[in-house]
């Protein structure tokens, strides 16, 4: 029994050591979030943030926390952690039409279950397991993924900078796969289907932290995504409500003009176009910050409930 326990603890130690060697792993990125990171702009959202927003191409001191299938519930917890810091840097948050309703890979939260905010998130998704509190068995079922990510990092399959990970060698563009994705997209409806409680919590973060400027961003979609889009008028109303706060800038670039073959699927831009988008987003953020510095010097900073702006 003692030998088994020792083996479990050794496996746990090796797993954490391996994770630390993978800078693009979600666990490493969450660890980074717990640091102060003075002067750094955090970016939160789904894989659309994760794969679209390269800090290097944006030319900003930013960090990408975008995660695959991330629901707003995850973003809300990450915002709680970020907004507890004594910082005044802007925050970039993906503005989703419809929440993913997903926790993604829940193993990313295992090292952080001592934080009640993380426990609350896992509980909300009925994903809090007692073994997550027990070093030695908490990673059972995940060792193969940890080993895979470790080997890929060691082999240089991908590279990571400020939370943004991209493959070293891009896979060839597959027009047939894109065509199939478009055909499937055209069979279903998309649209703005709000979760009012999530909207309320986002607005609470905004109003409770007037010293932080929130960039609420809709990243580009393939044109087919908008073919059967519902409740656009409601989304326009919600954007107008958000833009009414002085510490909010709404950037709805969902219909940004890119050729149809600029996408890998109906949600994600190909790498060269994602870099172009990153540069445009970085330029826009610098432009807004410059304008605000001229319009609102610190001694004349407006109330957060005053009229804001949207683009």
Enumerate domains of the chain plus CATH numbers: 39-128+173-310 (3.40.50)
The tens digit of pLDDT for each residue in 214-254 reads 999 999 999 999 999 999 999 999 999 999 999 999 999 99
Q: Which of 98, 106, 84, 10 is nearest to 48 (CA)?
A: 98
The tens digit of pLDDT for each residue in 36-94 reads 999 999 999 999 999 989 999 999 999 999 998 899 999 999 999 999 999 999 999 99
DSSP run (H or E) holding 93: strand 91-94
Work out the pLDDT band at 146, boundaries 50, 70, 90. Answer: confident
Work out the pLDDT band at 101, boundaries 50, 70, 90. Answer: very high
Work out the pLDDT band at 141, boundaries 50, 70, 90. Answer: confident
Helix pair 116-124, 72-83: axis angle to 10 deg: 170
- With a cut of 60, say whether residue 25 has pLDDT above it: yes
Buried b (16+ CB within 10 A) or exposed e, 159-173: ebebbbbbeeeeeee
pLDDT of residue 306: 43
Query: What distance lies between CA 125 and its chain's CA centroid?
Result: 18
pLDDT of residue 63: 97
**In 3-state terms, the chain is what percent helix, strand and coil (to 5)?**
50, 10, 40
What is the percentage of the chain residues whose pLDDT exceeds 90?
71
pLDDT of residue 150: 77
- With a cut of 80, say whether residue 173 has pLDDT above it: yes
pLDDT of residue 308: 47
Q: Give 174-178 contacts, CB < 8 A, sequence gap 24+.
A: 174/264, 175/261, 177/264, 177/265, 178/260, 178/261, 178/263, 178/264, 178/265
Measure the CA angle with vertex 110, ends 85 and 93; round to 5°: 45
Q: How many residues does the chain have?
A: 311
Give me the chain's average pLDDT, please: 89
């Amino acid at each position: 029994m003692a030998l088994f326990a020792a083996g479990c603890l050794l496996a746990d130690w090796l797993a954490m050591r391996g994770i630390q060697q993978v800078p693009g792993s979600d666990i490493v990125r969450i660890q980074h979030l717990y640091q102060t990171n003075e002067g750094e702009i955090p970016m939160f959202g789904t894989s659309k943030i994760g794969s679209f927003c390269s800090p290097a191409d944006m030319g900003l001191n930013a960090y990408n926390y975008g995660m695959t299938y991330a629901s707003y519930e995850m973003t809300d917890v990450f915002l709680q952690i970020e907004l507890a810091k004594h910082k005044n840097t802007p925050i970039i948050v993906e503005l989703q039409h419809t929440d993913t309703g997903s926790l993604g890979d829940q193993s990313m939260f295992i090292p952080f279950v001592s934080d009640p905010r993380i426990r609350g998130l896992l509980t909300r998704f009925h994903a809090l397991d007692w073994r997550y509190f027990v070093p030695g068995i908490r990673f059972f079922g995940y060792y193969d993924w940890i080993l895979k990510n470790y080997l890929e990092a060691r082999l240089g399959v991908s590279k990571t900078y400020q939370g943004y990970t991209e493959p070293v060698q891009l896979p060839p563009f597959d027009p047939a796969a894109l065509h199939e994705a478009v055909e499937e997209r055209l069979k279903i409806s998309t649209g703005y289907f709000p979760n009012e409680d999530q909207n309320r919590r986002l607005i609470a973060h905004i109003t409770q932290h007037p010293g932080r400027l929130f960039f609420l961003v809709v990243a580009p979609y393939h044109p087919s995504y908008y073919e059967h889009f519902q409740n656009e008028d409601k989304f326009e109303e919600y954007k107008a409500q958000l833009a009414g706060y002085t510490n909010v800038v709404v950037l709805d670039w969902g219909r940004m003009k890119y050729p149809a073959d600029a996408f890998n699927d109906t949600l994600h831009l190909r790498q060269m176009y994602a870099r172009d988008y990153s540069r445009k987003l970085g330029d826009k953020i610098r432009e807004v910050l410059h304008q605000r510095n001229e319009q609102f010097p610190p001694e004349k900073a407006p109330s957060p409930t005053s009229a804001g702006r949207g683009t």
